[in-house]
Amino acid sequence: MDGVNDSSLQGFVLMGISDHPQLEMIFFIAILFSYLLTLLGNSTIILLSRLEARLHTPMYFFLSNLSSLDLAFATSSVPQMLINLWGPGKTISYGGCITQLYVFLWLGATECILLVVMAFDRYVAVCRPLRYTAIMNPQLCWLLAVIAWLGGLGNSVIQSTFTLQLPLCGHRRVEGFLCEVPAMIKLACGDTSLNQAVLNGVCTFFTAVPLSIIVISYCLIAQAVLKIRSAEGRRKAFNTCLSHLLVVFLFYGSASYGYLLPAKNSKQDQGKFISLFYSLVTPMVNPLIYTLRNMEVKGALRRLLGKGREVG
């Protein structure tokens, strides 16, 4: 308990991205630029989904939810990271660390569920086009979104609380740039085998089950796309589904490496960069993936900018 009280008073020391202080300003500029792109890209998608009537569809409803998640995901860790890179202090308060732990895990688990929901939406759109509007009605869309957010919150409350029961014994040096479950488990001086087993079990469940559902959905979608007679229809369906699959690959690939294989990461810097990838890089590129391959979003953006010029 003395160690816990000491950590509560002094907070924690975040070791950062790299062990080379001379690179900190370079990292600061690169991460700040990436964060600004993340804010701009995701805010644009949310704004377009709200203002453009043609985008008032289930697909863009879920896409705006994903953008909201990505905004919160990056904001939960990047500002603190920038503060630590800018100045000599590398600390985070105990309350800030615990808040980051709960929020980061909540958002990550929510995104796992939301990506499954988005795959289901694409399945209905491609495989059941005549019933799409009836099946994906506003009530069901809101219900699925609420399930995703509450499911992620429940996972965070259980897993984070379980992690915080470990005795910290005065250890304050957090490997990495944020307070997440694998890093907090490494701070404990007691037996962490049960916590590691629970972490692996939960992460396997939140990875294997959603990925299995997504793969099955896209196998059925592929069969349906091949039956579409119109080349334009096949191209549009292919582009939309490919964008979603790219997002799934980026998020699940990096998150699985960071959470399921922490003990096998022989290089500390490599593990830190993987954490940086799913906490910042993925939220930054998601809007680009959906925007660059989506004519509807690009058309809505042109119309919105055109209206802005007319008003000006």
pLDDT tens by residue, 251-304: 877 777 766 665 444 455 556 677 777 788 888 888 888 776 666 777 777 776
At residue 35, the pLDDT reads 93
Per-range mean pLDDT, top range of 59-73, 214-228, 262-276: 59-73
Residue 183 has pLDDT above 70, yes or no: yes
At residue 235, the pLDDT reads 74
Residue 108 has pLDDT above 60, yes or no: yes
Residue 96 has pLDDT above 90, yes or no: no
Greater confidence (102 vs 266) lies with 102
At residue 1, the pLDDT reads 37
Greater confidence (183 vs 124) lies with 124
At residue 265, the pLDDT reads 46
Greater confidence (190 vs 269) lies with 190
Residue 65 has pLDDT above 90, yes or no: yes
Global confidence as pTM: 0.83
Greater confidence (217 vs 1) lies with 217
* Mean local confidence (pLDDT), 111-126: 90
At residue 209, the pLDDT reads 84
The architecture in CATH of the region 2-311 reads Up-down Bundle (1.20)
In the chain, domain spans: 2-311
* Mean local confidence (pLDDT), 131-152: 94
Greater confidence (155 vs 199) lies with 155
Burial (CB count within 10 angstroms: exposed 0-12, middle 13-18, buried 19+), residue 165: exposed
Q: Over pLDDT 90: what percentage of the chain?
A: 20
Greater confidence (230 vs 143) lies with 143
At residue 145, the pLDDT reads 96
Least confident residue range of 26-40, 112-126, 241-255: 241-255
